[in-house]
Amino acid sequence: MNTPPSVRKPASFGMTNVVFIGRSIRHSLRNAEALIMAIMLPIMLMLLFTYVFGGAIDPGGNYVNYVVPGIILLCAGFGSSSTAVDVAQDMTNGIIDRFRTMPIRSLSVVTGHVVASLARNLVASIVVIGVALLVGFRPSANGIEWLAALGVIILFILTFTWLFAAIGLVTGSPSAASGYGFALLFLPYLSSAFVPTSTMPNWLQGFANHQPITPVIETIRGLLTGTPIQHQGWWAIGWCAVILIFSISWCFIAFRRNAGLR
Amino acid sequence: MPKFAIEVNGLRKRFGDQVVLNGIDLAVMPGTIFALLGPNGAGKTTLIHILSTLINPDVGSARVAGYDVVRDKNEVKKSISLTGQFAAVDEVLTGEENLLMMCKLSGLTTAESRIRTSELLIRFDLAAAAKKRVKTYSGGMRRRLDLAISLVVSRPVLFLDEPTTGLDTISRRALWDNIIQLKEQGITIFLTTQYLEEADQLADSIAVIDQGRVATAGTAVQLKSRLGGEVLELRNGHDELLLVVPTSGKIQDVMLTLNELAHSLPPDTQVSIRKPSMDDVFLALTSKEREESYA
Ligand SMILES: Nc1ncnc2c1ncn2[C@@H]1O[C@H](COP(=O)(O)OP(=O)(O)O)[C@@H](O)[C@H]1O
Ligand SMILES: [Mg+2]
């Protein structure tokens, strides 16, 4: 019989992350339902908002230029919410115990899901933009503005994915995770994503103007179509940075505490 | 290697109000198979979780491969492999992908990982199913994959939590053979089981835990001899078991016991005399405790 290699040095931190990212991407590619949803949802929403609601909101036919950032964020929010379910599933399966008893940074399991979510949602964002261009989206952005918009989109996806990862860690069951995740998906509707906040009743404006989605939307819209951004860019980055740091710390704490409970 | 592969001193653990481990002391010699025997809920998994660094004890200490399980977690992790009670395999991946992933996480290069994976697939009779997703595997195949994953690299101490629960007889025997081979390589094996036969067949030493304490410990032979020399088994006319009575095996003792029993049992009762089995040990221990708790 073969004697197994007796290993002195465990996998490096970099290698651990590479392995877990590969695992999560495989999971994403094999979840046919979620994958179809990730591609179909942007197409459906884009068509719905342009052809069904668009005429009523802006009879001039310019609504597509207004709504693209909103649909990107709506899809990204939806796409990243599945991270909560992926993480919760891992935590309820015995596999996490095995990872935790290996001399590796086992929190990288979560990092793997985050990177896979980023990849999925970037694909969805590209689909949104592709379909938008087909139905009449006319962005005015130059190369640098495109890159900046992409940067903001990536920051937004990472922020919400880490937040959903933390939710997945603390809820402890996949179905509870998907329930909590759902609640966060209403935020884009109560922002400037689909209609300017000035058309909302006063009490709602207060919320809509001061929640994190609105500055992110305004920044992306400004970068792509040239509407004024003003200080919204800083608000967007500030909000995302704060939520991102909060979520990552929450993940660290929740992951440690889970270890003590099981 | 330190004198003991595993050493446990005065270990206590409670969850809320429930005391699960109430002062456990154990020692396991390197290169031996140790079986922790106990009914459901006895605290076997909790003890394995403490020894494999997943949870901390409340009181007491434990050393694995010479390292403290609380203070030197990372050194302990480098010395152990754990196969948990529930198969810890990735259902979405194939068997081969599971093994490759674990090889790489254990620090093997890609080339080494491929070689090791194909060796293990063959050794655990999984080569034909290597490219199938684990979701489609049977219970026995999952267990074998689970064990194969624990063996991607050689670690001196292997924990197996109820490795054969839910397996059919053939898979169980095959797994026993695997476990014995591992011992021959010098690996210390700490396994838990609810099956007396398993402890009897495999283990060099056994501890029975019940209600958070070690009820008895020793080799299978020692445990059985503590019950006395011979066991009387009494069956009625329909060959249904009525009573099992331990005796010293000496003629006086056997006669006295039978005389006492003769009034209360039907005349067609059949008596046979045999050596004690692990079941007898277990029944004697748990029934003694029940009597005590009623008293
Ligand atoms: N994380 C936990 N929280 C609360 N109770 C627990 C926890 N883990 C185990 N228990 C309880 O501890 C007892 C022993 O459990 P366990 O160690 O799994 O026993 P065994 O493996 O011998 O069946 C059980 O009554 C179980 O309900
Ligand atoms: Mg158990």
Residuewise pLDDT in 10s, chain B (295 residues): 678 999 999 999 999 999 999 999 999 999 999 999 988 888 999 999 999 999 999 999 999 999 999 999 999 999 999 998 888 899 999 999 999 999 999 999 999 999 999 999 998 889 999 999 999 999 889 988 998 998 898 899 999 999 888 778 888 888 898 899 999 999 999 999 988 888 888 999 999 998 888 988 888 888 877 777 788 888 888 888 888 888 888 888 888 888 888 888 888 888 888 887 777 777 777 655 544 444 3
Number of H helices, E strands in chain B: 10, 13
CB of B46 within 6 A of ligand 1: the answer is yes
A-interface mutation test, from B45, B81, B106, most A Cβ less than 10 A away:
B106
pLDDT for A1 = 42
Find all residues with CB under 8 Å of B266, minimum gap 6, and list them. Answer: B236, B237
Ligand 1 atom, smallest distance to B161 CA: 21
pLDDT of residue A259: 59
Q: Does B180 touch chain A (CB under 8 A)?
A: no
Q: What span, in angstroms and rounded, lies between the C-alpha atoms of B268 and B262? A: 11
Question: Tokens at residue B260, please?
Answer: 């006492």
Query: Can you list the alpha helix ranges (DSSP code H) found in chain B?
Result: 44-51, 73-79, 95-105, 110-123, 139-150, 169-184, 196-202, 220-226, 251-262, 278-294
| Inter-residue contact B159 to B28 (CB < 8 Å) | no
Of B74, B86, B104, the CB nearest to A11: B104
Domains belonging to chain B, first-starting first, are 6-89+137-224 (3.40.50.300), 226-293 (no CATH)
Residue B289 has what pLDDT?
Answer: 53
Mean pLDDT of chain A: 88
Task: With 0.90 as the threshold, say if the pTM is over it.
Answer: no
Nearest-CA residue of chain A relative to B158?
Answer: A101
Measured between CA atoms, the residue of chain B closest to residue A10 is: B107
What's the confidence (pLDDT) of residue A87? Answer: 92
Q: Does B204 touch chain A (CB under 8 A)?
A: no
CA of B32 to the centre of ligand 2 (A): 21
Pocket of ligand 1 contains residue B171 by CB under 6 Å: no
Q: Is the CB of A144 under 6 A from ligand 1?
A: no
Q: Do A138 and A223 touch, CB atoms closer than 8 A?
A: no
Give the span between the Cα atoms of B184 and A223, in whole angstroms: 68
The per-residue pLDDT for B19 is 93
Which of A1, A19, A101 faces B82 most closely, judged by CB atoms? A101
Distance CA B120, CA B123 (A): 5
Q: Residue A26: closest CA among chain B residues belongs to which residue? A: B93
